[in-house]
Amino acid sequence: MMEWLTWGNGAYLIAIVLGGVATLVATKYKPALKELKEVAQKYNEAMKDGKMSVKEKQELAKECMDVVSAVLKLFVWRW
């Protein structure tokens, strides 16, 4: 049994476990990341001319509220 538990195999096992955990976390937070991406796109569109109009500010605020909603859904749906 001890010949299987080398430093190389241990490091490989840790890398596989961390990869699995990262995949689970990324899958769980995907809706929130999608909303953050939409906020960044709206901000870039709004700032193309260097100024942000009132309408653009309202659209950006709506997108930010969508992010907050997505994050809350991640944590509240469990309860």
Check whether 46 has a pLDDT greater than 70. Answer: yes
pLDDT of amino acid 78: 58
Q: Where are the domains of the chain?
A: 29-79
pLDDT: is 78 or 37 the higher one? Answer: 37
Q: What is the pTM of this model?
A: 0.61
Residue 7 has pLDDT above 60, yes or no: yes
Report which secondary-structure segment, H or E, holds 34.
helix 30-46
- Angstrom distance (rounded) from CA 63 to CA 55: 13
Residue 35's Cβ-side half-sphere holds a number of Cα atoms within 13 Å equal to 18
In angstroms, the CA 57 to CA 35 distance is 16
Return the pLDDT at 77. Answer: 63
